[in-house]
Amino acid sequence: AEDSILVHDRETFRLVDVNAKAVHNFGYTREELLDIDPAELMSGEAPYDMAHAVAYFELAKLGRCPPFEWQTRLKDGRLQWQEVRLKPVTIDGRAQILAFARDITERKAAEEQLRTSELLYHSLVEQLPQNIFRKDVNERFIFANSRFCDTVGRPLESILGRTDFDLYPEDLARKYQTDDQQMMNEER
């Protein structure tokens, strides 16, 4: 996907040029974009303000600005998440900053849906009256619900990364290990 490219004056942050993708994406004409205060484009609901924008631009001047996510408001009022990369350049002898912006609104929505799903899953697992745990392929615990933690008498932090041999007597640990291996072989 082609990025929106916005060229900012390095000192004033005002827009001095934009590409066709930026015009299409933001919904403004080229002339409107060049005339607009950049703060108006940054008036999304993300916890950023102009001070944050200035800090990013200062880092960009030094060539040390990592990509960041920013919420923008389009001309029609919709909010859109952007992944932004800033790069200091000199064009026709003028110090400028290129802002490469990519629409990541769909990705952010998918991340939020995943977070919601994970919270629901975690809530359900914590409410079940059974011991529930997960192990990785090396038979190390990577998850355990509070019921399991209570059963083995250990906090979660002392269970994660451990094996059955760390939690149980050797004969019981060997039985669990055999059971796990049998189950993994059946799933293949």
Q: Can you give the pLDDT at residue 40? A: 79
Q: Can you give the pLDDT at residue 65? A: 87
104-143 pLDDT, tens digit each: 999 999 999 999 999 998 899 998 999 999 999 899 999 9
b (16+ CB within 10 A) / e for 145-166: bebbbeebeeeeeebeebbbee
How far, in whole angstroms, is CA 128 from its chain's centroid? 30
Sorted by sequence, the CB contacts under 8 Å of residue 82 that are 6+ apart come out as 4, 69, 70, 71, 72, 101, 102, 103, 104
User: What is the pTM assigned to this prediction?
Assistant: 0.65
| Separation CA 95–CA 116 (nearest Å) | 44
Q: Can you give the pLDDT at residue 37? A: 84
Mean pLDDT, range 158-185, rounded to an integer: 93
Sorted by sequence, the CB contacts under 8 Å of residue 75 that are 6+ apart come out as 26, 27, 28, 32
pLDDT of 44 over the 60 cut: no
* Antiparallel, parallel or unpaired: β 15-18 and 68-73: unpaired
Number of residues assigned to the chain: 188
